[in-house]
Structure 1
Amino acid sequence: MQEIDIYDLPDLVNKNKRLLGLDPGTKTIGVAVSDRDFKVASPVKTIKRTKFKNDAQELKEICADKNIGGIVMGLPVNMDGSEGPRCQSVRTLADNLKRIAGFEIPIVFWDERMSTSAVERFLIGEADMTRKNRAKVIDKAAAAYILQGALDAIQRKIPFP
């Protein structure tokens, strides 16, 4: 799969479409969506991973329901900037969504270093959530954090109208 630069994404997404943010883990996939102006990310849900076919179908349904035109997928880069087995797993997921599940929308990767821990610190400190409640929202909140980082980068690159 040819990698797309995050700054090229707005030109590849049809007008009035949204972006889907994904935080893929081994057991779950956190899901978030953007607004149509690519300014705000909102958490949507956490998908409990089962078989690829089922996961892909659920993502397709979300894409159709939320009018999605592109995907920003969190890439778990190591702290030193290198890519390990988790990055390969995420790249394989993206490739399989395109090749096997037939996703035709662009998929870009966004460095998600520290996203889950940043969200967890917020949920503990600012939101004062219990461990049980944090577990229910951490993945979709991390997906929103990842997507918001990408949206902020896109907005900084695009001149104001």
Structure 2
Amino acid sequence: MCTRVRTWTDRPIIILSADSSEDRKVDALDNGADDYMTKPFGMRELDARLRVALRHHAADANTDHQTELTAGPLILDLVHYQATYHDQPLDLTPKEFDVLAYLARHVGKVCTRRMILENVWGPAYAGEQHYLKVYAYRIRKKLHDEAGRFLQNDPSVGYRLTVEASPTAG
């Protein structure tokens, strides 16, 4: 359902569920959910998470009017969630796309793991560094960049997209 909703809106999606299985959570987050809460939960926590989601959405709406990002050979169509790398289409999950979009917005600069996790998964995931390692591995595999020349790891700090020529963000 999240995937279908994402085709027509970028509004925050928070899943409220009794199912607390990790697979279910990961699947929902990979397919476009911004947050996932399991029952039982307090109304104050729900209210706080709603405020955070709306705050992030408002910040994105005020600063991000781009429809396309370019980082060297990577082109991201932000409207249709489509990506190409060296003119070849990439089959990315929504979260993989979001990670690359975040890094493309800051091309050439090291983004800390915490920054990426908070901005892509949400503040509740700031400590889940293993998520990012798995996603970086998957993205590199899809980019055929196993050596990490394009998606670089800055040990103990974070990640960055590096382009040889003058980087552009379009």
Normalising by structure 2, we get a TM-score of 0.23
Larger Rg: 2
Bigger RCO (CA 8 Å, 6+ sep)? 1
